Structure 1
Amino acid sequence: MRREDVEFSSEGTTVRGWLYRPDVDAGTENVPAVVLAGGWCYVRELVMPYYAEAFAALGIAALVFDYRNLGVSDGEPRQHLDPWAQIRDYQNALSFLERADGIDPDRLGAWGISYSGGHVLVLAATDPRVKAVVSQIPVVDGYRNMRRVHGGVGYRKLWDAILTDRRLRYEDPAKRLYIPHASETPDTELSSWPFPETRTTFAALQATEAPLYQNRSTMESVDLLLNYDITPFADRIYDTPTMVIVAEGDDITLWDLEIGVYNRLPTAKKELVVLPHTTHMTLYSDRSKLDRAAAHASRWFAAQLLGAPAATSG
């Protein structure tokens, strides 16, 4: 395979990424492609290249990109996470792929993890160009997610910070608060995702493969997360082949909510994969678990975009 630096415009902002192209003989037909983007504060180097390489090895191109405001992409304010703007970045990535040489515009897929796992379910419901989706450990209901992971007292503190930020931005639109992505001491330091293992895992990934990752977002990003709910879109996924991959016992993005959304999908073209003895964060820190998830996703895209026989999960 080969990797190309690419960029495209998303609502006037330049978004940059990598396009992984499979090795194919000159003159062969165009290949299918999958678009990939990450979760909370992710940059393109964070585990996504492993999945892109797995797809390219099958003969499927893969576009990995940084959302606006993150990593190598343009956009202000930096580290601002607007989920609906990120979904539009996905849509514009699809528009880029439709026009890319060597790509079959009628065989496009979308893959997402954590926050973007929810995004691709919205795409499955709203963008008919998407012919197959893999949603991995998705955020499906920001409000319920934040209430549970922060607990009663922590949720009060979170709301105090959100209201302080709202007042600050009202008084001076040039000012805003920032909040850590995660903290090793969540009892004493407020963060968006209060799990020590989240902080240590992403710190290790930043040191080894994703130096542009930053452990912070705008406070407004959490404000927007509280209004993020993909449940109404699940009822509209009646034809798009959709795989949902959850981690057994995931208490970060809440596997019970994820399975509940899967059960709402009216399509018969769906599959639920539950990864045993796996947590949300070991899908980043344990290469064997990442490989297993990538194998399931590869099998799904091969079946839906290449017409390969779909083996049963296990």
Structure 2
Amino acid sequence: MVERLDVEFQSEGTTCRAWFYRGHPTEKRPTVVLAGGWCYVREIVMPVYAKAFAEAGVNAMIFDYRNLGVSDGDNRQHLDPWAQIRDYQNALSFLERHENVDPDRLGVWGISYSGGHALILAATDPRIKAIVSQIPVVDGYENMRRAHGTMEYRALWDLILKDRALRYEKPGERLYLPHATEDSSKEISSWPFPETVRTFMQIKETEAPLYQNKSTVESVDLLLNYDVGPFVKRIYDTPTLMIVAEGDDLTLWDLEINAFNRIPTNKKKLEVLPHTSHMTLYSDKSKVEKAAEMATAWFVETLKP
């Protein structure tokens, strides 16, 4: 039986709360940190992976970023990618000091937005000895241009500029927009895909009641400047598994594969899941379990529990 413990750590003065899945009750084991994508809370799909890792002898810790879920933070539903990356780094600092963790065998797993974070972390934090980057966001600008199309992209920019003006004129106030919506021609959202709102609202009803289908508009403003390109070329020696959904047109599988090809280490592996979409890696149990099996095998091979 995998034991799940409630833990918390400090990230730049803010308390982040997490679940620690212990792979062994007394031994120091390799440990993987997991966090989610756009607006995610820890209940969304990640427990499947964490349990699989722990059953294979690799501890796992899933945390909520600051401002989301059960973690603290006054700027609720605000997604700052660099703050999230620092939350990951502070999670690693917490784990280095944990009695059940081998600090020389730390790994990172990420999905969608955090799949990009995992790549950046591999390039910038030498404590990390292996990563899994799953259906990652790799270029926010290109992603938003293609996801929204010309007219919706114009409307998105109008909203961003309104938010910038509001934050200047009335400090402390800000605009919000949905994570996703059924009809993007009538309502601007961050990710204008009806299957996204359907999938996540179903997950909210059944597994993740703290999920909220909204973020600050500034979150999208920050996303437009997010690009893993300068970082992937610095992954020289960190074992890297990238899991891509065939034909993914949400986070754009062609951009993902191009990013993978720019990683210079020979300790890398690309898995393209056939007959899979971005969202079926949340909604289809068999697809989730297949991806978890791949990720588990990678961490067992590279972190050696």
Q: TM-score, normalised by structure 2?
A: 0.99
1:124 to 116, 122, 125: 122
1:126 is displaced (CA, Å) by 0.4
Q: Does 1:9 align with 2:10?
A: yes
2:239 to 235, 238, 241: 241
Question: Partner of 1:76 in structure 2?
Answer: 74
CA distance in 2 between counterparts of 1:218 and 1:252 reads 20
CA distance in 2 between counterparts of 1:273 and 1:188 reads 37
2:134 to 127, 133, 136: 136
Amino acid at match of 2:271: V
1:182 is displaced (CA, Å) by 0.1
Question: Partner of 1:186 in structure 2?
Answer: 184
1:76 is displaced (CA, Å) by 1.9
Amino acid at match of 1:55: F
Q: Which runs of 5+ in 2 are unaligned?
A: none
Question: Partner of 2:173 in structure 1?
Answer: 175
1:112 is displaced (CA, Å) by 0.0
Amino acid at match of 2:210: L
CA distance in 1 between counterparts of 2:126 and 2:44 reads 28
Quote the RMSD (CA, aligned, Å). Answer: 0.7
Question: Partner of 2:300 in structure 1?
Answer: 302
2:156 match: secondary structure: helix
1:101 match: secondary structure: coil
Q: Does 1:264 align with 2:262?
A: yes
Question: Partner of 2:99 in structure 1?
Answer: 101
Matches of residues 178-257 of structure 1 in structure 2 within 5 Å?
178-257=176-255
Q: Does 1:113 align with 2:129?
A: no
CA distance in 1 between counterparts of 2:276 and 2:248 reads 8
Q: TM-score, normalised by structure 1?
A: 0.96
1:30 is displaced (CA, Å) by 1.1
1:122-175 per-position Cα deviation (integer Å, ceiling 9, x unaligned): 000000000000000000000000000000001000000000000000000121
Amino acid at match of 1:202: F
1:23 is displaced (CA, Å) by 3.6
CA distance in 1 between counterparts of 2:228 and 2:286 reads 30
CA distance in 2 between counterparts of 1:22 and 1:303 reads 16
CA distance in 1 between counterparts of 2:275 and 2:44 reads 22
Q: Does 1:41 align with 2:42?
A: no
Q: Identity across aligned pairs (percent)? A: 70
Question: Partner of 1:87 in structure 2?
Answer: 85
**Where has structure 1 moved over 2 Å in runs of 4 or more?**
none
1:224 is displaced (CA, Å) by 0.2
Aligned residues: 304
1:190 match: secondary structure: coil
CA distance in 1 between counterparts of 2:9 and 2:38 reads 22
Q: Which runs of 5+ in 1 are unaligned?
A: 308-314
2:137 match: secondary structure: coil
CA distance in 1 between counterparts of 2:141 and 2:134 reads 19
Matches of residues 132-171 of structure 1 in structure 2 within 5 Å?
132-171=130-169
